[in-house]
Copies of this chain bind each other. A is one copy, B any other.
């Protein structure tokens, strides 16, 4: 019998305990041993968690209990769980965590501390989808060419509503908040930060890149409007919030932002709160992993899969990959990223403006791929919607500054990157 202690018995923690009890038959059959939740740590002992396991308000008690063989960390936060996970690993106890923020900041220190003690984290990326297993194990023969993931259900739900129902951003956000898909302060989701934490974890497994959130481009979906959605549709794209990690000649690009992707691509077809991660390997080609990215039971499914692996005695390098293995595999600075761009500008409706805009782009070596001019709601303005050929982020940023400095161009320019 293997005994599990749970730090943090909230939605996911309660699901872990319940599933271990309710699906005990099949879990034992697959793991080869009985797995039992024996102790949980919570902040507030007075709250009913609906699970029949003893609770304490001292997480260290869980870690130090002679009765606990495996520690599951589901507290959230960064520094407090870091100290606790460290303590558990130093005591030689295997740890399973679903905490993406913890790993976004401390995964390499934790790999170091863990040594040969298992530290598994399947649930930290894309909830119930076994994407970590796929990358660490299933695709291990491949150099990874790219990872593109829909890893935030809130954003995907909102974008899907905007696309399918013609709803505007503010309405959809309100609806998502009412349904519990978005927090009262939705920044962590709609600003791309949640997806960025997950991307950093995948970037380590695929490329051994040691980066923190502040090192990569992180943008959200707050600027997306119906005009953009309609333009995308017209030109055969869908708009998704993607986390992208991609090997290019000079290194690895990592970025999170709203992205126009061909409507025919598999990942463009992923709607609603669902998540999906497309992984292209140099040998296997494109694979995609689809499923629920959140929810107590779905996340607990991944947590328990890790526990089963530990009970089976399975290991492997925590991050699947040594740091800095492939020569030249450095993280590109945001300025070095190269891609295609979509721009939406509001400009004065008078002769010469279009030529001024295209001259500014030309001066920054940016050439226009397609262009659409539409009337604006303001009488003296028109909207210019355009896509560019590939250029660097540096050139684009400079061009945007120069465009905003033009008298005839309003300051509020929307820029969306395009991935083909």
Residues of A within 8 A of B (CB): 15, 19, 23, 25-27, 29-32, 122, 128-130, 133-134, 136-143, 266, 269-270, 281-292, 295, 297-298, 300-305, 308-309, 312-317, 320-322, 325-326
Whether B315 lies near A284 (C-beta < 8 A) is no
Query: How far in angstroms is the closest Cβ of chain B from A185?
Result: 27
Q: A25-B326, A29-B321 are in contact. Are A130 and B139 (CB under 8 A)?
A: yes
A189 to B6, CA, bound (A): 49
A26-B143, A128-B281 are known; give 17 further A-B pairs, CB within 8 A.
A23-B141, A25-B326, A26-B140, A26-B325, A29-B321, A30-B321, A130-B287, A138-B305, A141-B303, A283-B298, A283-B301, A284-B292, A284-B302, A285-B292, A287-B289, A288-B288, A314-B314
Which single residue of chain B is at the shortest CB-CB distance from A303? B141
A44 to B290, CA, bound (A): 43
Residue from A137, A138, A300, A322 having most chain B Cβ neighbours under 10 A: A138
Whether B317 lies near A30 (C-beta < 8 A) is yes
Whether A281 lies near B301 (C-beta < 8 A) is yes
Q: Please indicate the chain B residues that have their CB under 8 angstroms from the CB of A283 in the complex.
A: 15, 19, 23, 128, 297-298, 300-301
Which single residue of chain B is at the shortest CB-CB distance from A133? B138
Q: Please indicate the chain B residues that have their CB under 8 angstroms from the CB of A284 in the complex.
A: 128, 291-292, 297-298, 301-302
Which single residue of chain B is at the shortest CB-CB distance from A314? B314
Number of copies: 2
Whether B288 lies near A137 (C-beta < 8 A) is no
Whether A139 lies near B305 (C-beta < 8 A) is yes
Query: How far in angstroms is the closest Cβ of chain B from A74?
Result: 15
Residue from A134, A304, A325 having most chain B Cβ neighbours under 10 A: A134
A292 to B321, CA, bound (A): 24
- What are the 9 tightest A-B residue pairs by CB atom distance, in nearest-first order? A130-B138, A141-B304, A287-B291, A128-B284, A284-B301, A288-B290, A314-B314, A283-B297, A30-B140
